[in-house]
Amino acid sequence: MVEAMSWEAARRVAAANARPLGAVPVPLPEALGCRLAGPLRALVPVPGVDVSAMDGYAVAGAGPWRLAGRVLAGGAAYPGELADGEAVEIATGAPVPAGAKAVLPYELAEAGAGLVDGPAEAGRHIRRRGEDIPEGAAVLGAGAEVTPVVLGLAAALGHDDLLVRPRPGVLVLVTGDEVVHRGLPAPGRVRDAIGPFLPGLVAWAGGRIADTLHLPDGPEPLRAALAAPGAEVVVVCGASSKGPADHLRAVLAGLGAEVLVDGVAVRPGHPQALFRLPGGPLVAGLPGNPFAALGAALTLLVPVLRRLAGTPAARESGALAGPVRAHPRDTRLVPVRRSARGAVPVGHDRPGSLWGAALADALAVVPPGWDGEQVELIELP
């Protein structure tokens, strides 16, 4: 019998067997949530030219000034240079005419009969070219997450596309003749509780669902789906254990897959496994029990997706505030809610039910034989 790998080792093996995907340029909206593959540079300075920071009058020399025209943002620039003693009415964001020394806001101006006067200190209310962001500046480094704000910044700097690590594609295979996908399950049937949580979990970990297939039990449908997955990662739900309908290992062996993890010393989630198909795609086998599948997804799938997408792994620890019995050989994944007193176990943590995980905001990682206070906390999506 193959000995189950420790939970820590399984997570390490998962990350170590995934290589960040090559950089690709993608249109701004699609880059949301990805990681930059190189520095984000300013293709243009901000502002692009010297512009007014206020609505008012651009003035040259000493006042009072004679009104010589008007410039609006997006309109024609003032032709030529403003001579001493001249002013133009100007809008916020409009290019300041050459020769202007300051902008006098309307609130400070006395205007009438073609003249304007007021206090205009040299340089006031003019935003100089490149003052906010100089042209060519590297404003964010490789690996930064593309957040909604980064999309705005990238657009301001002239980008239509961003060079990012693409989201790895995930093919989901939900197996089991007893599994149904709509309505009330008849006696002997069970609603699929894993397929519905995978899209959110996969997106949260930096991936995207390429396709979801519901397969009947039997080796053939699995073999057909795994022979040409068309995705960087395949997730198989169920068929991970040793029952008569659990064909995953035999099918993968027939396809020449390499076994990376075969069983993990963790509760729940013992029968989880990780394989590499010839040609590169990784296959994560999640147990059919839904909470076991969630724990396995956080152990094997999330580290794989984070690594492929170039997302650094976040580590968090905290004190357990509540009684938890460690297991002598296996790591336990315990649903907890973080609070000021520490991480409080929420109960309802049977492998077949997501109740506890739905009440929780993290899973506490309780190593075998543990009797301390601090534990690692893995965030739930």
Q: Which stretch binds ligand MOO (CB under 6 A): 19-27, 57-65, 284-292, 305-313?
A: 284-292
CA 215 – CA 299 distance, rounded (Å): 24
158 binds ligand MOO (CB under 6 A): no
Q: Which does 46 bind (CB under 5 to 8 A by kind): ligand LQZAQKY5, ligand MOO, none?
A: none
287 binds ligand MOO (CB under 6 A): yes
By rule CB under 6 A, what count of residues binds ligand MOO?
9
CA 66 – CA 115 distance, rounded (Å): 5
Between 229 and 285, name the residue whose CB sits nearer to ligand MOO.
285
Q: Which stretch binds ligand LQZAQKY5 (CB under 6 A): 81-89, 146-154, 189-197, 273-281?
A: 189-197
User: Closest distance between ligand LQZAQKY5 and the C-beta of residue 356, in Å?
Assistant: 15
User: Closest distance between ligand MOO and the C-beta of residue 267, in Å?
Assistant: 5
* Structure tokens, 207: 């991936």
Helices (H), the chain: 7-16, 28-31, 148-156, 198-204, 219-227, 248-254, 290-296, 302-308, 355-359
Which residues, listed in sequence order, are joined to residue 112 by a DSSP beta bridge?
Answer: 115
Question: Quick one: DSSP state of residue 125?
Answer: T
Q: Which amino acid is residue 78, in one-letter code?
A: Y
Q: Which residues 6+ apart lie within 8 Å of 9 measured at CB?
A: none
CA 60 – CA 189 distance, rounded (Å): 83
179 binds ligand LQZAQKY5 (CB under 6 A): yes
Name the residue number minimizing CB distance to ligand LQZAQKY5: 288
CA 243 – CA 104 distance, rounded (Å): 82
On the question of a cis peptide bond just before residue 351, with omega within 30 degrees of 0, the verdict is: no
Among 249, 267, 307, 332, binds ligand MOO (CB under 6 A): 267
On the question of a cis peptide bond just before residue 47, with omega within 30 degrees of 0, the verdict is: yes
On the question of a cis peptide bond just before residue 20, with omega within 30 degrees of 0, the verdict is: no
299 binds ligand MOO (CB under 6 A): no
Q: Which residues 6+ apart lie within 8 Å of 357 measured at CB?
A: 291, 294, 335, 349, 363, 380
User: Closest distance between ligand LQZAQKY5 and the C-beta of residue 158, in Å?
Assistant: 47
Site for ligand LQZAQKY5 in 335-354 (CB under 6 A): 351
Between 286 and 336, name the residue whose CB sits nearer to ligand MOO.
286
User: Closest distance between ligand MOO and the C-beta of residue 304, in Å?
Assistant: 19
Q: Which does 242 bind (CB under 5 to 8 A by kind): ligand MOO, ligand LQZAQKY5, none?
A: ligand LQZAQKY5
Question: Quick one: DSSP state of residue 298?
Answer: I
155 sits in the region (left: phi over 0; alpha: psi -120 to 50; else beta) called alpha
CA 288 – CA 268 distance, rounded (Å): 11
Site for ligand LQZAQKY5 in 107-126 (CB under 6 A): none
Site for ligand LQZAQKY5 in 244-273 (CB under 6 A): 246, 270-271
97 binds ligand MOO (CB under 6 A): no
Between 41 and 327, name the residue whose CB sits nearer to ligand MOO.
327
269 binds ligand MOO (CB under 6 A): yes
Give the number of other CB atoms < 10 A from CB of residue 223: 15
238 binds ligand LQZAQKY5 (CB under 6 A): yes
**Cβ atoms of 317 and 374 closer than 8 Å:** yes
**Binding string, 297-336, against ligand LQZAQKY5, x = CB under 6 A?**
----------------------------------------
368 binds ligand MOO (CB under 6 A): no
User: Closest distance between ligand MOO and the C-beta of residue 364, in Å?
Assistant: 16
**Cβ atoms of 43 and 301 closer than 8 Å:** no
CA 362 – CA 340 distance, rounded (Å): 14
Interface with ligand MOO (CB under 6 A): 267-271, 287, 289, 292, 351
Which residues make up the interface to ligand LQZAQKY5 (CB under 6 A)? 174, 176, 178-179, 190, 192-194, 237-243, 246, 270-271, 287-290, 292, 351
